[in-house]
Structure 1
Amino acid sequence: MAGRASRVLLVSLLTLAPVLAQASVQVQISGIDKVLAAAVRANLALTPYADRAVSEPQMRRLYASVPDEVRKALEPYGYFGARLVAGSYKRATGKTADENWTVTLHIAAGTPVRVTALQLDMPADALQLPAVHRAVRAFVPRTGAILDQALYTRSKQAVMAALQADGYLDARATQHEIAVNTATHRAVIKLAWAPGPRYKLGAVTFTGSQFVPGFLQRFVPWRVGEFYSQDALLQLQQRLTGADYFAMVEVNPEPRQARDLVVPVAVTVAPAKRTVYSAGALYGTDTGAGIEAGVRRRWLNRYGHKAALDTLLAQRLKTAALIYTIPRPGQDNKAFNFGANWLDSNTATSRSRTLGLVANESREWRGFSSSFGLDALSGDYVVGGENGNSTLLYAEASLGKKKGANPVYVRNGWAVSAVGRAGGPLSTTAFTQLALDGTWIHSLAPRDRIILRGDAGATWVQDFNALPPQLRFFAGGDRSIRGYGYQTVGPRNAQGLVIGGRNLLVASATYEHYFLPKWGVALFADGGDAFNGSAFQMHQAIGFGLRWISPVGPVRVDFGFPIGDRHAHGLSLHISIGPDL
């Protein structure tokens, strides 16, 4: 039995011996640049054998086809005279069975063919459309450039895509010709298009909606009969998705159903989960530890009304806010908002308990988010050891815009906002206030970025003491001047206690370097003041910190040191969590 097993093993080894003696292939290319070498390598029949065994007869057959493969590989790049100048293949010697074949190729690309004439014929009515005009102007290769056929194909496709996106659904190329003279190394490109009739957008039908008929028509950004536009279709998709009513939105134009060049559009939607609950723990040195919870009703009725309730319970801050929204979808995404909010704040400089009511209109305006309405605020407060009580009725307008590719961690982006308030004779005191803030983030390198931030404000008021803390300006804290406690910078009363100011001016610069994909360090310098009149006094601090990019945004742990301030000295710890913009 043992002898039979030995004979089987010997026969198996003898059978496998020729296979084990075969080898893989290494190709070395010289004489041309990396891009052309990669093209040649991709076209070689030898390439798939880089990690496979090749017998000697196979190698002879594979190598024989190399000159033709080199020529064909480089023709699309404009090199019609490419040739294999010298080449060889040999089997490396050694004692092991997995020896390699080494193939050496020295290639001469030759003189490239260049475009000497580029003729693009597009009818004037189509060429006047911005997208089509840009695609035609961007067509490459241009006159004088090497004839790169991949660029030619992409440019031709871009022109056709632009035509179809603007409603020329029957567009076709009537001429697409490349005339190559290999003797003179010249090429002539001739292209002509017949756009055909320009289609228009028709009525939209909705399927799967939970709302009254006609409500979703407000989201449609075109009128029946306007020219077909891929951008308009995308805008409809974005509006419906952004409304937060649906788990699924599909926008499908139906050109086969077109009548008199008018294309109907079918939209299919599926309702999202109607009620959303949220809860979480939080910590910040400005607010202390706490929890937050909320409930949001995506729609209350068949007219699309919304409601949300949010609460926060922290050591130094407690809030509750209820808001009722009546959307008025359209070009400006308008909505009417009514709400009530309660605040209980206890900082190192003030204590306040206030109830607020708000009614405003919000809308998009030239790319900005805007709102305008009335606010009512009433409550008790203590600032700098002095008790106060006020009731204010004032108008408030806001304008804001932000831009950043990734809201969790912005590499390049910015945000600006402005808020204006004005209270009149129905208030405890008349006042006018303007507040501005901005943030700019710029990536200096793949692992480095700089963050610049600025805040400014001004108040004109009859009786400053009648303003509650939330309408006064303070500086200091996690998102103000680090190195100082929250709201500990500002004008002081006779007892030396901070009472806030009429004006604000703060600037900050932070440099971050990430030594791991999600871990980094920071250096920062902050400065500014909350002040009255022109009595600005610089409060400045420097420091360092640690960064961790969490799923909800950067976690920042900063250590700040005030410079030359008799009211503040030593190390100050600041912890904050959340997006930069």
Structure 2
Amino acid sequence: MIAAVAVSGAVLAAPLPSWAQSRDADKELEDLIPDVALDNAEAWAKDTDAAKVKVPDVSTLLSPDTVPPLPDIPEITIPWPDTAEMPKIELLTPDPDIGTAEEQAKAAEEALDKVLPEGDVGRATIANAVVEKVGNQVELAFPPEAEFPEREDVVTRFGGLSSLKALDKEDDNLAQLSRRAKEDAELLQQVMRLYGYYDAQIIQSLSGFEAPAEGSDQRGPVDVNKVVVRFDLVPGPRYTLAKIDLGDVDRADIYKPGDAAMLRESFALHTGDPVNTDRIGEERLHLDLKLGRSGYAFAKVGAPHLLINHEPRTGDLTIPVTTGGRYQFGKVNSSLPEYLSSRHLQTIARFKPGEVYDRVMVDDLRQAILATGLVSSVTVQSREAAAPAGTQPGTVDLDVTMAKAPQRTIAGLIGFSSGEGVRLEASWENRNLFPPEGMLRLRGVAGTREQLAGVTFRRNNFLSRDQVLTADLYAQTQKTLAFDARTASFITTLEKQTTLIFQKPWVYSVGLQVIATSELQNASAQRNTYFIGALPLHAGYDGSNDLLDPTRGFRVSMAVSPEISVTDGRRSKYVKAQLDASYYQPVAEKVVIAARTRVGTIQGTVLENIAPSRRFYAGGGASVRGYAFQAVGPKDAEGDPIGGRSLTEFSLEARVKTGLVGGAVSVVPFVDAGTVGNGTTPTLSGMQYGVGLGVRYQTNFGPIRIDVGTPLTRRKGDPRIGVYVSLGQAF
């Protein structure tokens, strides 16, 4: 309709001359515009069908009330826009990170407005404060030490957790620095509460900004890396313990009179003591350990609960304790009786049936079983076999569950040194061929100076814990600086050992040696055959604090071996004795002085009746460092060592810890001295000296030792330096 109106209007408005046409036009044109239109165009236009249609008011076409509804189309299921209900538009919630950033930026700006120019601290601070620098951008200020003795503990704990210290190398802006300062202020409050200061005040200030230019209110540019956050700590009053509740500890007197007092004494906190969270945790562990070592096999010690009362400034401590009755040891039961029998496990245990239950001994048994190398895992479960009855303790059996480990091993070793040449060693062993713990080992050595083939039987934990029976049969050829020997030996030893798990003060060994050896002292001498029988005895006392790396205490040991030697029909009887002693003393926090002496003597016969391999020698990594093995002492015309009947050695070294590799590396300057004499009395005559420097790298199984030494009294044939590598200290 709208289109029709437009066309009609156009025709009416056009000037007549423009629409003139010939009366002889084509029929199609005359049908469209007849000749009557040419005669009276206006009359013709009014007479058309389009002119007879009523023209609506155009303004009403734009009103939604006058527009008829659109017809429905079956194929389209989406509602028309005029009938669809549009969802209500909800406003977006602000991004919390944006809000936080705005707050931090605002806080940082406020903090910046409050700080003073560089050189001033800013805001109220503690008078006569002790200032501790923690990292590059944070300082802690404390009252004088007499008023706050926990200063070092707070600094150490805060330094390990501080965000400012951990991230002080980051490229931060002022807002980030302000956020971390806020976190550290909250951290300091928590640390102070650990030591009982629940009302502590933390005063935060900043420094390190450029001062405004003279006559200007504008600050200079801010270098965040130069900003220092300072926290002044005003501890306030320290809270104390008002009540201590240890559960049913008093019931222990039912099982054994006096146990309640003993258990309370192990918890070394009392009413009136300062509230200290660390101390509470430590004393809780002490109480738990005391219960476990005093027969209370199933005792339970719960987590401590501390109720703080701010008005009287006190704390009420509650630790839920259930004693559970007192017990003694019963039987040890093995899950693998044919592999490691219950009887053998009882031999390994450091307790006997009927002794008071001790949780530490249970863990020691577990470690000792693992140390056999025959199991890959082990659990020891305590099980009630009989309940307590009044003062009569109950009985606990131990159920040992084990998983077998591989028991066969093939090993090899390849080595080279300038003094010893090439050395190849190989071995095969079955560690439980003869249960329990009966090992058979086949071994062989092929080297420049040594060749060996042997078979060894060994039974660990024989009749007693850490007691070892060994039988060794081997044939060996050995060529050293001192002698050339071809030897067949049978040696058996019963030895009480000390171990990393159970370091014993006393150790001993008793042995029997039967040896046949053909030995040549030097190329120009005659080869002699010796038949030797010996009864070597050894006893030692270890008063040091560590087996592989002692720092305090002393050790002393004595070895005596009565021997009979037959060569060329001559029978000789003599006694070989050797005394070793060492002492360890710390002289500074990171320095330990270690000293060693060794003296030996052979009494009863002349040197020629003693096989060269049985004489005393000195020199090498376990003797006088810097010299070759056996190179210290008298020599023959060819320059080869001949050994002697007496021995004297001294060693002195300083073991200095460094900060390298987390403190695992130490340097060890040392000086050694030693001599070998032809007489039977140890002497200082002919003493030879070696000096050097060593490095120790501490591992979980002891220090790895590397020593480099040089001889001070160097003779012809002696090396300029000697290098020695081993596990453990030199002595």
Paired residues of 2:350 and 2:465 also in contact (CA < 8 A): no
Partner of 1:79: 197
Partner of 2:608: 465
CA distance change for structure 1 residues 482 and 157 in 2, over 3 Å: closer, same or farther? Answer: closer
Partner of 1:247: 376
- Structure 2 Cα separation of the partners of residues 232 and 80 of structure 1: 42
1:423 to 538, 551, 563: 563
Q: Report the 3-state secondary structure (helix = DSSP H, G, I; strand = E; otherwise coil) of the residue aligned with 2:236.
A: coil
The one-letter code of the counterpart of 1:553 is I
- Structure 2 Cα separation of the partners of residues 287 and 463 of structure 1: 30
CA distance change for structure 1 residues 155 and 513 in 2, over 3 Å: closer, same or farther? Answer: closer
Matched, 1:360 2:506: no
Partner of 1:3: none
Per-residue CA deviation, residues 460-483 of structure 1 (Å, 9 max, x unaligned), is 133432322221112223332234
Q: Report the 3-state secondary structure (helix = DSSP H, G, I; strand = E; otherwise coil) of the residue aligned with 1:434.
A: strand
Matched, 1:533 2:693: no
Q: CA deviation at 1:336?
A: 2.9
Q: Report the 3-state secondary structure (helix = DSSP H, G, I; strand = E; otherwise coil) of the residue aligned with 2:624.
A: coil
- Structure 1 Cα separation of the partners of residues 164 and 272 of structure 2: 35
Q: CA deviation at 1:150?
A: 3.3
Matched, 1:164 2:307: no
Partner of 1:555: 706
Q: Report the 3-state secondary structure (helix = DSSP H, G, I; strand = E; otherwise coil) of the residue aligned with 2:672.
A: strand
Q: Report the 3-state secondary structure (helix = DSSP H, G, I; strand = E; otherwise coil) of the residue aligned with 1:578.
A: strand
Partner of 1:350: 483
Q: Report the 3-state secondary structure (helix = DSSP H, G, I; strand = E; otherwise coil) of the residue aligned with 2:296.
A: coil
The one-letter code of the counterpart of 1:377 is I
Indicate the percent of aligned positions where both proteins have the same amino acid.
17
Q: CA deviation at 1:88?
A: 8.1
Per-residue CA deviation, residues 369-411 of structure 1 (Å, 9 max, x unaligned), is 422121111111122535322101121122356667585x777
- Structure 2 Cα separation of the partners of residues 41 and 506 of structure 1: 49
Q: CA deviation at 1:421?
A: 0.8
Per-residue CA deviation, residues 82-140 of structure 1 (Å, 9 max, x unaligned), is 346x66899x98989x99999876553223245699999866776878x995x755644
Partner of 1:10: none
Paired residues of 2:534 and 2:561 also in contact (CA < 8 A): yes
Partner of 2:532: 392
Q: CA deviation at 1:267?
A: 0.9
Q: Report the 3-state secondary structure (helix = DSSP H, G, I; strand = E; otherwise coil) of the residue aligned with 2:509.
A: strand
- Structure 1 Cα separation of the partners of residues 316 and 509 of structure 2: 58
Partner of 1:504: 647
Partner of 1:523: 669
Partner of 1:373: 511
Q: CA deviation at 1:198?
A: 0.6
The one-letter code of the counterpart of 2:620 is G
Paired residues of 1:19 and 1:53 also in contact (CA < 8 A): no
Q: CA deviation at 1:549?
A: 4.4
Partner of 2:725: 577
Partner of 1:5: none
Gaps of 5+ in 2: 1-94, 109-136, 144-150, 210-218, 389-393, 499-503
Q: CA deviation at 1:75?
A: 4.6
Paired residues of 1:132 and 1:163 also in contact (CA < 8 A): no
Partner of 2:444: 311
- Structure 2 Cα separation of the partners of residues 144 and 489 of structure 1: 68
The one-letter code of the counterpart of 2:331 is A
User: What is the TM-score normalised by the length of structure 1?
Assistant: 0.75
Matched, 1:235 2:364: yes
Gaps of 5+ in 1: 1-13
Paired residues of 1:388 and 1:465 also in contact (CA < 8 A): no
1:278 to 401, 407, 411: 411
Per-residue CA deviation, residues 209-254 of structure 1 (Å, 9 max, x unaligned), is 5527555343344444432211221232133222222222221213
Q: CA RMSD in A?
A: 5.2
The one-letter code of the counterpart of 2:360 is D
Partner of 1:7: none
Paired residues of 2:674 and 2:689 also in contact (CA < 8 A): no
- Structure 2 Cα separation of the partners of residues 362 and 41 of structure 1: 51
After the TM superposition, which residues 168-247 of structure 1 pair with which residues of structure 2 at under 5 Å, given as runs? 168-169=296-297, 171=299, 195=323, 197-208=325-336, 210-211=338-339, 213-217=341-345, 218-247=347-376
After the TM superposition, which residues 136-147 of structure 1 pair with which residues of structure 2 at under 5 Å, given as runs? 137=265, 139-141=267-269, 145-147=273-275
- Structure 1 Cα separation of the partners of residues 411 and 495 of structure 2: 24
- Structure 1 Cα separation of the partners of residues 495 and 101 of structure 2: 76
Q: Report the 3-state secondary structure (helix = DSSP H, G, I; strand = E; otherwise coil) of the residue aligned with 2:709.
A: strand
- Structure 2 Cα separation of the partners of residues 462 and 39 of structure 1: 68
The one-letter code of the counterpart of 1:530 is V
Q: Give the structure with the higher percent strand.
A: 1
Paired residues of 1:370 and 1:400 also in contact (CA < 8 A): yes
Per-residue CA deviation, residues 321-369 of structure 1 (Å, 9 max, x unaligned), is 4211244545443343221133322222322222111123223596444
Matched, 1:296 2:429: yes
Paired residues of 2:446 and 2:452 also in contact (CA < 8 A): yes
